[in-house]
């Protein structure tokens, strides 16, 4: 199922990426129905920033979802990779227990929206797909999951704006 979100920030693209890829910022976020993120990997290689996080779903699972995952915890790994030479990247995620059944990916673009072409404000666009590959119920599960995914991205954006203000933008 397709999803997309767009958020504006009162800071340059570089500062937005610095905060988005900051493990301390991400591990302090309280997102609905999720454990706090655990950092799996954080790296900077030239213009490429990578942040890999692990989450556990701690909210209420409906009976169908509980049956699909059995007695296991629902955990997944989320990767954010951004190239600061063009401020484009990729957000991907997959369930740890069965990555072929629950996964998704999205393109990420952070554009300057300042006046006169200056990079004083920015807009993040995320557009991608979430897949639940379970016969008969996959489409229904996708429809239930995507709104929560979008809501968590909205909350992340709200907290990012607060952090940008704290850092003095």
What's the CA gap between 82 and 60, in Å, rounded? Answer: 32
pLDDT in tens, 19-67: 999 999 999 999 999 999 999 999 999 999 999 999 998 988 776 666 6
Reduced to 3 states (helix: H, G, I; strand: E, B; else coil), residue 155 is helix
Q: Which contiguous run of DSSP H or E holds residue 129?
A: strand 122-132
Average pLDDT, the chain: 91
Model pLDDT for residues 74-126, shown as the tens digit of each residue: 899 999 999 999 999 999 999 898 888 889 999 999 999 977 667 789 999 99
Neighbours of 84 (CB within 10 A): 18
Q: Are 104 and 79 in contact (CB under 8 A)?
A: no
pTM over 0.85: yes
What's the pLDDT tens digit per position in 138-164?
A: 888 889 889 999 999 999 999 999 999
Q: Which two tokens stand for residue 120?
A: 């004083």
Q: Quickly state the pLDDT bin for 12 (edges 50, 70, 90).
A: very high
Over pLDDT 90: what percentage of the chain? 70
Quote the CA–CA distance of 23 and 37 in Å, as a whole number: 9
CATH code given to domain 2-166: 3.30.530.20
The span from the CA of 72 to the CA of 67, in Å, is: 10
Hey, which residues does 135 pair with through a beta bridge? none
Question: d(Cα 136, Cα 124) in Å, to the nearest integer?
Answer: 34
Backbone angles phi, psi at 21, to 5 degrees: -95, 10
pLDDT of residue 40: 97
Which strands form 38-45's sheet, in the order they lie side by side?
Answer: 2-9, 122-132, 102-112, 88-95, 75-83, 48-56, 38-45
- With CA atoms as reference, report the closest residue to 158 among 73, 46, 32: 32
Tokens of 136: 């008969």
């Amino acid at each position: 199922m397709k999803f997309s979100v767009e958020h504006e920030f009162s800071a340059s693209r570089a500062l937005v990426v610095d905060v988005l890829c900051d493990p301390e910022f991400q591990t302090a976020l309280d997102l609905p129905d999720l454990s706090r993120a655990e950092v799996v990997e954080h790296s900077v290689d030239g213009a490429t920033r990578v942040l890999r996080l692990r989450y556990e779903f701690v909210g209420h699972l409906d009976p169908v979802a509980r049956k699909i995952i059995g007695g296991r915890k629902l955990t997944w790994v989320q990767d954010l990779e951004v190239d600061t030479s063009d401020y484009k990247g990729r957000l991907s995620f997959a369930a740890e227990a069965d990555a072929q059944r629950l996964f998704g990916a999205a393109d990420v673009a952070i554009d300057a929206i300042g006046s006169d072409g200056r990079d004083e404000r920015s807009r993040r666009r995320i557009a991608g797909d979430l897949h639940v590959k379970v016969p008969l119920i996959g489409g229904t599960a996708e429809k239930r999951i995507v709104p929560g995914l979008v809501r968590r991205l909205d909350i992340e954006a709200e907290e990012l704006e607060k952090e940008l203000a704290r850092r003095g933008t």
